[in-house]
Every structure is written in C-alpha cells, then in structure tokens.
Structure 1
Amino acid sequence: MSSLTVAASSFSSFSLTRFAHSSSNNSLIPPKVLKVPLNANSQSSISFKSSNTPSIYRFPSLKTCAALDGKDPNGATPVLVEEESSTSSNIVNEEVEKSVKVLKNAAKTRKVPAEEVLSAFSVLEKAKLDPSKFFNTLGGTSSPGRTWMLIFTAEKKLKKGRYFPVTAIQRFDAAGKRIENGVFLGPIGSLTFEGRLSWKTRILAFIFERVRIKIGPLNPLEISLGQKEEREPSTKDPCFIWFYVDEEIAVARGRSGGTAFWCRCRRVNT
C-alpha cells in the first residue's frame, strides 16, 4: 500500500490518504480478556451518523470482542473451509486456527513480530475460506452497522508491514449498504469519508460521496465529493477482497495489493 502524506506509509489503498500522524489514549477492552492498547485520545469527537446533518458523538473508549482462545463469545457458527479431502481440510483448519490466534494476540498486544503477522495473512489467503457469512459479520443485520479498528497494514505481496500508528476506524453497514472511513486525532480533530458500498462473493466495493472535517471544538465541516450518479460500486472502484472475518477480527486485501487486518470495536458508555 502507498503512504499517508505524513504519518502512515501503508494505507492509501484503504482510502485514508493525506492524514497527519498523531497519537492519543483510546483503548480496546474485550468483554472478557482482550485489551488492545492504542495511541489515541479517549475523548475524540467523531461522527458515525449517515444523515446529511453532521452530528457529534463522544467516543470515550472502544471494546473488542477478540478472545485469545479463538472461540466466538457470541456462539456464532465458525467460518468454514471449502471442502477438499478430510486430511487436507484438517491441516488447513489447524493452520487457520493458529494464524487467527496470532492476529488476535497482535490486536491485544501490538507486539507480535511483523513477520508472524505477514505469515498469518498468507495462510488465511491461501485457505480460501467460505465467504458466505463475511458480509453480515462485517456489517451486521441492521443500520448503522458495525465498527472496526485498523491494527496492521502490509505492502503488496506481503513484503513488509507494520502496526497502524493512528486511530483509524471503519464502519460497515450491510443493511444500509454504507461505509465510513475515519482517522481520529484526539483533541486535534478527525477526518471521515462516507459513501455507499456493494458486496459480491468476497469483494466489497465502495464509492465515497462526502467528507467530514472536524477541527478542535468546532462543528464538523461537510464537503460533497461530487458523486451525483447513483450507480452501484464495482470492482473498478476502490475495493476490499476479504480472506477472513469473524466476530473479532477481519483480514482483507485492497485493490492496489496491500493487506490489512482490523479488530472489532464498538462505542461504550462511561
């Protein structure tokens, strides 16, 4: 992936270019065991509302559903591997399970070596997991959908990668076919892009329609990106190809070839 203008050198294919680097103190806290340290301010002002009227929410902290034992705390059906021979399937399942644990540990600690994260990406891509439940797991079954925090990004062909240095959050709304990308810089402000999405098999394509800029205590400024044509996004537009999605983490490759993974997060009351 190409570089962000100042701080993040590997995320342009995920549509978060031209953001300045900053750090703050948001944290991801799992319902049971996971705590993900972040460099993001716990009082970031953000907007996840899809209407044309900007509104401000407090994003005091974030929680992740990731569990290190690889079990789904919500009891959802596990992702299935496309059937081959019984022996081959067992081997693939074991490799996938190990790789998922590596990524969940990386989300918790941000200390897993980059080489191990890259290896886990490779295993999940080659496993060719059944994507039939990916979309609803990503975006939920009702609006405004679900939110995911970016943890790690890798360059094309998995040559190298690193933990993403700022608080970047994406919202996927499967019911409303909407997407929102945002970078949040604590008291400095935030920058978010919102638009529409489409899903086919394992490919999520999107078109951004507006950008919201929030600076300090000022009200957000909303700017139209001039996307007046109401067409469905296609693979000619920016897109993600998803290799793995469960209730805790998600892994995808962008159209330009870079790969990344996210950890599920949600707003909580203080």
Structure 2
Amino acid sequence: MNSQISLSHAFSLSSFHCCFSNPYPFISFKPLNVTPLRGTNFNFVKISTERTRIRATLDDIESDQLSSNPLLVEDDNSKKEIEESVKVLKIAAKTRKVAAEEVLSALSIIEKAKIDPSGFLETLGGKESPGRTWMLIFTAQKQYKGGRYFPLTAVQRFDAAAKRIENGVYLGPIGQLTFEGKLSWKKRILAFIFENLRIKVGPLQSLQISLGEKEEKEPSTKDPFFIWFYVDEEIAVARGRSGGTAFWCRCQRVNT
C-alpha cells in the first residue's frame, strides 16, 4: 500500500501540481508510433490493444480567428491585450513554434486579467458524462521564470456532471499510465483526489490498483488542485498548487 501511495503522490506532484521543470525524469522520449496531424504538431497516439487515438481539435482553426471566450473586461485596451494573448496561445497550441518567452508573457497577462470564471467548469468538463478531454501543451515554472512545450502525450479528462477526473500519459504501443478520481469545484478552484491507478503495458491486459481513497471525502485545497485563469472551447489555462502554470488544448479521443 505504501508503494501505491508513493507512486500516486509522485505522479500528482509531477503532473497535477504543475512542477514542470522536469515533470517525468524517468521518461526521456516522445510517444512512439505517432502520425502528425496536417498543419499541427499534435499527434495521433495509436494504442493497438484499445485502438484509441487522440486528436487535437485546433486543426481547422485559422490562426487569426478567435472563438467565443469568457472575457468580461470593461477596459478596451485590457480586453484587446487579453484577446491577443489568447490568440498567441492558440497559435502555440496549433504549431508549437511560438517562442517560449511569448507564451510565458501571454500566460502572465491572462492570469492578471482575473477573468470571470462562472462558465469555466461547464466548458472544461461538459454538460454530461464522460466529460471533455484536454491535451497538455506547455508548462511554465513558478513566477514564469521559464517554460517549455510538454514533450509527451499527456491528456486530462474532466467530467463536470459526474465530478470525476482522469489523468493519463500515453506512450503509444509501449503502454499508458492513468490516474482516476473525484473532483470538486469552488469559484475557480478545481480540487481532486485520485482513487485508482491503471497501468497498461503493450498488449497485456490493464492492471487497476486502488489507492485507498474511497472514503466520502470532498476534495479541498488541502488536496492537489488547479486554479483556473481562462477556459474557452479550445484552450484552458491553470496554475497548480505548487505555483507552476500550464495550458491545455481541447482534444478528442476517438475509438475505432
């Protein structure tokens, strides 16, 4: 049991607390058996045993077009600055070619804007199960002292209706590592507790391990959490408990 809890703790520190300077020190390679999407650097991740792939939804978005977003900023100059920052992040998500310094600046501007979070949870987790999935694109260090594009295929699923969360790292035919648990939402803070770990290696059947968190406890800020600064239908920006910030791109898991 101690080893299970230690593994869960290590993963939550690396992925969900946004300690991103070297989030997966035990993995130094990109996902295998991937095919780039047209016009993007997002990847199909083919896992032969489950015939699952992950596809980014920004492929058909023009780089100069912004979709509806949750901006409620009265000052025109501030609103324009935020819109430009959102645009930078969407281009970065689509191309992964925007300089890290520009991404860091955009993240900082969005954080300081204090955008109304009233619609964030529904946009993040949808109106019905199984919710929505988001691919991690870029991770920034505390106080934006540095950052980089995330080198692996890491996908989070948020289910607002069922109040569930899932976090997975997908390594192509090698396998996948997934944590699943419950979440709570208050204002702009999404707290969570992992309950189960699933490990899949190659063609072998997946192994599920209980992490001993089955009690009826509501996740709180004493647990891992995200503070969300921006969420629209295409990207999301949040900070983890340790102070690192990241942004995600909406993605879609397609079963074939």
What are the residue-to-residue correspondences of 1:245-256 with 2, within 5 Å?
245-256=231-242
CA contact (8 A) 2:16 2:226 kept: no
1:37 corresponds to which residue? 41
In the alignment, structure 1 residue 156 sits paired with structure 2 residue 156: no
Structure 2 gaps, min length 5: 1-12
Higher relative contact order (CA 8 A, sep 6+): 2
Choose from 69, 80, 91 the match for 1:78. 69
Q: Distance in 1 between matches of 2:182 and 2:241?
A: 17
1:78 CA displacement: 2.9
CA contact (8 A) 1:194 1:210 kept: yes
3-state SS, counterpart of residue 53 of structure 2: coil
In the alignment, structure 1 residue 236 sits paired with structure 2 residue 239: no
3-state SS, counterpart of residue 181 of structure 2: strand
3-state SS, counterpart of residue 204 of structure 1: strand
Choose from 13, 17, 29 the match for 2:17. 13
Residues 252 and 127 of structure 1: CA distance in aligned 2, closer, same or farther (over 3 Å): same
Q: Distance in 2 between matches of 1:151 and 1:57?
A: 24
1:91 CA displacement: 1.1
CA contact (8 A) 1:151 1:164 kept: yes
In the alignment, structure 1 residue 58 sits paired with structure 2 residue 65: no
1:253 CA displacement: 0.3
Higher helix share: 2
Identity %: 64
Amino acid in the other structure paired with 2:66: K
Q: Distance in 1 between matches of 2:125 and 2:189?
A: 13
2:29 corresponds to which residue? 22
1:69 corresponds to which residue? 64
Alpha-carbon RMSD: 2.3
Aligned residues: 237
Q: Distance in 2 between matches of 1:12 and 1:128?
A: 21
Amino acid in the other structure paired with 1:37: N
Q: Distance in 2 between matches of 1:41 and 1:19?
A: 23
1:230 CA displacement: 1.2
1:41 CA displacement: 5.8
